[in-house]
Each structure stands twice: as structure tokens, then as C-alpha cells.
Amino acid sequence: MKLKVLPKSQRKHNHYLVLDIKSEEELTKNDFTSIVWDACVRFQGENNTSNFNLWTIELIDKDNISFFNEYNAILRCQRDFEDEVRSSLALVNNYNRNKISITCIGISGTIKGCSKFI
Amino acid sequence: MFDLNVKGSSFDNNLILAKQASIYGWKHINFSYTQNEYDDALSFKKDLEDNLEDVIDIDYTLLIESNNPSEIRKIVRKYRKKSSCISVLGGDLKVNRTSLENIQIDVLSKPYLKRYDSGLNHVLAKEAKDNNVAVELVFSDVLKSYLTHRSKILANFRDIYKLHKKYDFPLILSSGAESVFDLRTVKDFQAVFTQSGLSELEVKNSFKTSENILKFNKDRKNMILSGVRVVD
């Protein structure tokens, strides 16, 4: 049996981060998710990370014009914890011994609103 | 949004870094060169400025790397009029002390480098305040370290924040970026430092401090004494 959806007032409030990702290696959505979780658990700890309500909405491949792969991503996180997630992701610098950089280029209350940053 | 320490290299690399920094919201960056590279880098400074005229403001920082206090003094005297910002790489206690006592030096960079403590105490903090020498914390030190080493660096940062809050010496934050992979947006940069214990106001003040250093040095040739300036 499926659980009934919570009333709107009792649901968690989410914000969506638009991320700019540069990587030497090609990334999949699963790779990206594990990078995000690993970064948050490392920098903020297990207890704090449990508040973030992280979920990868989308990983978008951009046209490669230089020596690295470039992606945009939309990441869901709980309202009021944006700074914690941002700082954790800003401190990612390698994945599988390849250089990677993740930085937040926009933030929105809806997924639709993220499109103006991409 | 001022960054006084982006590692300078060749003309092309600087151009890529500056353009990316501009996209990420930085208004002004300084490329830092050591005393051995500085003269060579000056040769393409004009071209760089012309190429980035409408994109971002750039300038050069002289980063003095030496463990000899008298050599540092000599280099500072030689380059004071040529550079808009002089920074000394710290870590050694003698170097930290001589830098903070020298009014001609603008910035003491990484006083915690290769140390088990922050490299500053209440005496040095007072000296920094009296001589208006800023202490620089570099983001790439946190970025490029991990686990225990990273937490030790953050602990050193916190010790410096504590002294900064009590003695109110100028504090500046910079990225220390060597490539596009080390650059972050201004908001991300701020978020890391607010998470490690600085308030948002203090982070903003650190950007203002960087701006003030550059403004002060533009006027330096008109200064007769500290606080007295020739006005046309």
C-alpha cells in the first residue's frame, strides 16, 4: 500500500542548486551523486548531512569546448541548509584521481526556475 | 569581490583564469609572482590588461618567498614602487615577525604554512594592527588537503579568526587558484569561510580590506607621512 502524500504545509521545504561542474573524466549521474554525498559527509559529518535531504534531479552534459568535460546539474537540498551544501561541494577537488571542480552558479525555489541559470 | 592571490603563470593561462573568474562573479584579481618571476611577468602585463579591459580588472602581486628577514627587507625596498601589492609567504616565525613589523609590506600570506600552530599570537596580532599588515588566508590550502590535514588547517584558521576578532588586524581571504579547477563562485567562497567560523560581515570586510590595500598603494607615492597625502 502506498503512503498518502503529506499535506503541503507539513512537507519539507526544498531549494534547488544549479551547479557548474568541470571534470577531467566523464561523469555519470551516479558518479555525481556519490561525489555529492561523499563531500557532504566528509565536510559536515553524518549527523548534519542527514538534514540536507539531498537528491540529484538532473545532470546535463554541456558542449565540450576545452580540455575538460563540462556539466550542469540540479541538486535538491533542504531550505536553510544551502550554505552547508555549497561549502561542502566547493571543497571537492578530485574524483578517482582526476581533477574536478563543483561550484554553485544559481539557486532557486523551483526546478522550473533553475532553467534561467543553465 | 577582490582576490589578491591567483597564481600567475603564462599569458594564455592568465587569460583563461581571468575570464573564468569574471564568469564566477569576481571583479578584480591579482596574479601573484615570486621575486624571480616578477620582472618577466611585467613584460606581458600591458597586453593582458588590454585583452581583459571590459572583462575584469587585473594587477600583479609580488609574493616574496624567502626565509631570510634581511633579504625580504631588501626585496621590499627594490619592488615597493613597481608593485601594487607586496605579500610575504609566512610559516617561519622570524619571517612572520619581520613581515608584520614592516610597514612597507601589505600582506603576510599563510602564517600557518608547514606549522603545527597558526603562526600568530597576541604580540604579532598587535604588530599587524599597528603596522596595518594584512594576514591572508588561502582557500586552496583547504581545497587541496583532506581529512586530518584539512581539519588542522581549519583549526589554524579558527585560531586566526579568534585573534582577528580581538585585535582587529586586517584579514584578507584569497583563492590561491592555479587553474580553473581551483576557482569557485564568490558565494561558494564566502560559504566556506562562514562555515569555518567567520561571520558574513567579516567576509565582506575582508574583500574591502583587499580593495583598500590596492587603493592605498595607488596613493602611496603621494604620501609624505602615514595619514598625510599631497593633494593637487
This complex has an ipTM of 0.89
Nearest CA in chain B to A67: B180
Across the interface, do A22 and B180 touch by the CB < 8 Å criterion? yes
Question: Choosing among B151, B184, B189, B199, which should be mutated to test the A contact, i.e. which has the most A CBs within 10 A?
Answer: B184
pLDDT digits (tens, 9 = 90+) for A7-45: 999 999 999 999 999 999 999 999 999 999 999 999 999
**Using an 8 Å Cβ cutoff, are B169 and B129 in contact?**
yes
Tens of pLDDT along chain B (232 residues) come to 888 889 999 999 999 999 999 999 999 999 999 999 999 999 999 999 999 988 999 999 999 999 999 999 999 999 998 888 999 999 999 999 999 999 999 999 999 999 999 999 999 999 999 999 999 999 999 999 999 999 999 999 999 999 999 999 999 999 999 999 999 999 999 999 999 999 999 999 999 999 999 988 888 878 887 778 888 7
**Using an 8 Å Cβ cutoff, are B181 and A93 in contact?**
yes
**Using an 8 Å Cβ cutoff, are B157 and B136 in contact?**
no
Instruction: Please tell me the pTM assigned to this model.
Output: 0.92
Long-range contacts of B15-18 (CB under 8 A, 24+ apart): B15/B48, B15/B51, B15/B52, B16/B180, B17/B177, B17/B179, B17/B180, B17/B183, B18/B48, B18/B52, B18/B55, B18/B56, B18/B58
Q: Which of A68, A100, A104 sits opposite B187 (nearest CB)?
A: A104
Query: A9: distance to nearest CA of chain B, Å?
Result: 29
Nearest CA in chain A to B24: A105
Q: Which of B179, B180, B191 sits opposite A86 (nearest CB)?
A: B191
Query: For position B2, what pLDDT does the model report?
Result: 87
Across the interface, do B195 and A91 touch by the CB < 8 Å criterion? no
Nearest CA in chain A to B182: A101
Across the interface, do B180 and A87 touch by the CB < 8 Å criterion? no
Give contacts of A104 with chain B, Cβ < 8 Å.
Answer: 185, 187-188
Give contacts of A42 with chain B, Cβ < 8 Å.
Answer: 146-147
Q: State whether residue B43 is helix, strand or coil.
A: coil
Give contacts of B180 with chain A, Cβ < 8 Å.
Answer: 22, 68, 101
Query: A63: distance to nearest CA of chain B, Å?
Result: 16
Confidence category of residue A53, pLDDT binned at 50, 70, 90: very high
State the DSSP H helix or E strand holding residue B118, giving kind and residue range, or none if neither. none
**Using an 8 Å Cβ cutoff, are B86 and B105 in contact?**
yes
Query: For position B197, what pLDDT does the model report?
Result: 92
pLDDT digits (tens, 9 = 90+) for B54-96: 899 999 999 999 999 999 999 999 999 888 899 999 999 999 9
**What does the alpha-carbon distance between residue B172 and residue B2 come to, in Å, rounded to a whole number?**
9
User: What are the grid coordinates assigned to A18, written together?
Assistant: 544549479
Query: A2: distance to nearest CA of chain B, Å?
Result: 39
Across the interface, do A99 and B181 touch by the CB < 8 Å criterion? yes
Question: B142 CB near a chain A CB, below 8 Å?
Answer: yes
